[in-house]
Amino acid sequence: MSIMKRDAYKSDERWKAWKENHPKSIEGVRKEDNKLLVEFLKDMELGLNTPTGMNGKRSAGTLLNLTSHNLLFLKNFKKPLLKLAKQDLHNLENDVATGVIKKRNGKKFTQFGNYIKDFKVFWHWLQRTKRVKEDITQDISAKTTKPSWVYLSEKQIKNFFNKLNFDTRVICWFMYDSGARVTEANSLKIENFSKDFRQVSIPDEVAKTFGRTINLKLSSQLLREYIAEHDLKPSDYLFQKGLFAINKYLKYHCGSIFGKEKVSSPKSKGVYRSFTLYDIRHNSSCYWLNRYPTQKGLMYRFGWKGADKIEYYSEFLGVRDEITDDDMVIGEDKNKIFKLESEVESLREKVSEQGKYIKEFLKLAPHIRQKLNLK
């Protein structure tokens, strides 16, 4: 079985092109800073001088982010990289927050924490390679707000998915059923499914966190029909269309059905016209949250290493602790209690019956006493 992660966004091609065409001199960037950035990226590509516990080569997508994010800093710092102090970094962050520095489209940055995170990677590399001593990043936060996403109720999901063309409907139901990440699902081949399509195995090579085998409960029949209609072979990919085309189709139809400018939920904040394959995993998490008996099983299905995601979706859905004292009595103990309750009820009935006889006796007692005295 040949396993390779599919490069849906052409990251490998774009990174190769950047390396081949990257100029020694970039407008707005000091030559010595540009040289340091190139050396840093070469190390990250090879897996050299990496942080402890984060060894290994960086992917093309990661390298492209490290490049674009750090170039923003190098173009806006008022001093050479090696002469920076804490204040310089915090001044730049403030310029971004107040809108002095904006994105190329003229809009303010909304998730600048991602840029800070990648600058920290660069700066710590400078420390490990003995270019600088002080950590000017230790006081600055790389925190970001949770991005908005489109929430659909189970009823809305059925209504929406079942109105889509057949190919997209199958993909959406599979994504909703499996909870797979978009990049994971896009790399799956028919050979990754069981013969009856009731299970799918996400290999380690394509998984973001860890490989896993998932039981499918909602999409098996649709998958069988899809494979037969397209006459797909074991080595064929499940996704026969590109992600951009699928997402464009989903955005248009979700907006048309539920209202383009309407917000799907005040908590998720996403407008219907922005619905993509990435939103399906969020909605799948909501669907499976209350159906799994254990957190461990849910975390395995979604490939989560930490329980923070469960906390997020629990809070989103307003899940509360509703356990009662009765729920704490289980199995054999519960049977014993039921038996005791039955015996107590039987005793109550007997006491009640005997009480009637006693009452009758007390009524007759004076007459009996009188008769006895006469004798």
What is the pLDDT at residue 182? 98
Indicate the pLDDT class of residue 318, thresholds 50, 70 and 90.
confident
In this predicted structure, the answer to whether residue 183 has a pLDDT above a threshold of 90 is yes
Question: Is the distance from CB of 89 to CB of 136 less than 8 angstroms?
Answer: yes
Of 65-74, 81-90, 162-171, 352-361, the poorest mean pLDDT is in: 352-361
Indicate the pLDDT class of residue 324, thresholds 50, 70 and 90.
low
Choose the final residue of a domain: 68, 93, 128: 128
| C-alpha distances in Å from residue 144, one per residue of 90, 91, 97, 114, 365 | 16, 18, 12, 7, 88
In this predicted structure, the answer to whether residue 103 has a pLDDT above a threshold of 70 is yes
* Judgement on whether residues 337 and 272 belong to the same structural domain of the protein: no
What is the pLDDT at residue 346? 66
Query: Average per-residue pLDDT in the chain?
Result: 91
In this predicted structure, the answer to whether residue 87 has a pLDDT above a threshold of 50 is yes
Longest dimension (CA), the chain: 135
In a domain, 138, yes or no: no
What is the pLDDT at residue 338? 54
254 or 370, higher pLDDT: 254
In a domain, 53, yes or no: yes
In a domain, 313, yes or no: yes
In a domain, 145, yes or no: no
* Judgement on whether residues 56 and 85 belong to the same structural domain of the protein: yes
In this predicted structure, the answer to whether residue 45 has a pLDDT above a threshold of 90 is yes
* Judgement on whether residues 65 and 113 belong to the same structural domain of the protein: yes
- Mean pLDDT along residues 188-195: 98
Hey, how many other C-beta atoms are within 10 angstroms of the C-beta on 199? 15
* Judgement on whether residues 196 and 336 belong to the same structural domain of the protein: no
What is the pLDDT at residue 2? 60
* Judgement on whether residues 164 and 118 belong to the same structural domain of the protein: no
* Judgement on whether residues 59 and 88 belong to the same structural domain of the protein: yes
In this predicted structure, the answer to whether residue 348 has a pLDDT above a threshold of 60 is yes
Choose the final residue of a domain: 93, 128, 163: 128
How many Å is the Cα radius of gyration of the chain? 33
In this predicted structure, the answer to whether residue 344 has a pLDDT above a threshold of 90 is no
In a domain, 322, yes or no: no
Residue 140 phi, psi (nearest 5): -95, 140
Indicate the pLDDT class of residue 113, thresholds 50, 70 and 90.
very high
Closest CA to 3 of 273, 222, 188: 188
Provide, rounded to the nearest whole percent, the portion of the chain with pLDDT above 70.
84
Choose the final residue of a domain: 317, 348, 364: 317
- Four-point Cα dihedral 347, 353, 354, 355, nearest 10: 110
In a domain, 104, yes or no: yes
> Hey, what amino acid is at 203?
P
Q: What domain count does the chain have?
A: 3
- Mean pLDDT along residues 52-68: 94
Q: Is the dihedral of CA 341, 347, 353, 355 positive or negative?
A: negative
- Mean pLDDT along residues 341-364: 67
* Judgement on whether residues 225 and 184 belong to the same structural domain of the protein: yes
DSSP codes, 214-258: EE-SSSHHHHHHHHHHHT--TTSBS--S-HHHHHHHHHHHHHHHH
Q: Which residue has 């993909």 as its token pair?
A: 171
* Judgement on whether residues 242 and 340 belong to the same structural domain of the protein: no
- Mean pLDDT along residues 202-224: 97
What CA–CA distance (Å, rounded) separates 181 from 208? 8
* pLDDT tens string 269-289: 999 999 999 999 999 999 999
* Judgement on whether residues 294 and 339 belong to the same structural domain of the protein: no
* Judgement on whether residues 242 and 292 belong to the same structural domain of the protein: yes
Give the HSE-up count for residue 93: Cα atoms under 13 Å, Cβ half-sphere. 20
288: CB partners within 8 A, 6+ apart: 179, 298, 301, 302
Question: Is the distance from CB of 208 to CB of 61 less than 8 angstroms?
Answer: no
- Four-point Cα dihedral 320, 323, 324, 329, nearest 10: 180
What is the pLDDT at residue 290? 87
| C-alpha distances in Å from residue 77, one per residue of 9, 29, 70, 71, 244 | 31, 9, 11, 10, 35
* Judgement on whether residues 124 and 94 belong to the same structural domain of the protein: yes
* Judgement on whether residues 186 and 104 belong to the same structural domain of the protein: no
In a domain, 5, yes or no: no
CATH number for 259 = 1.10.443.10
What is the pLDDT at residue 178? 98
What is the pLDDT at residue 375? 47
Domain hosting 44: range is 11-128
Residue 310 phi, psi (nearest 5): -65, -40
Question: Is the distance from CB of 116 to CB of 67 less than 8 angstroms?
Answer: no
What CA–CA distance (Å, rounded) separates 70 from 64? 10
In this predicted structure, the answer to whether residue 363 has a pLDDT above a threshold of 90 is no
- Mean pLDDT along residues 180-200: 98
Indicate the pLDDT class of residue 331, thresholds 50, 70 and 90.
low
- Mean pLDDT along residues 151-171: 98
In a domain, 135, yes or no: no
In this predicted structure, the answer to whether residue 98 has a pLDDT above a threshold of 70 is yes
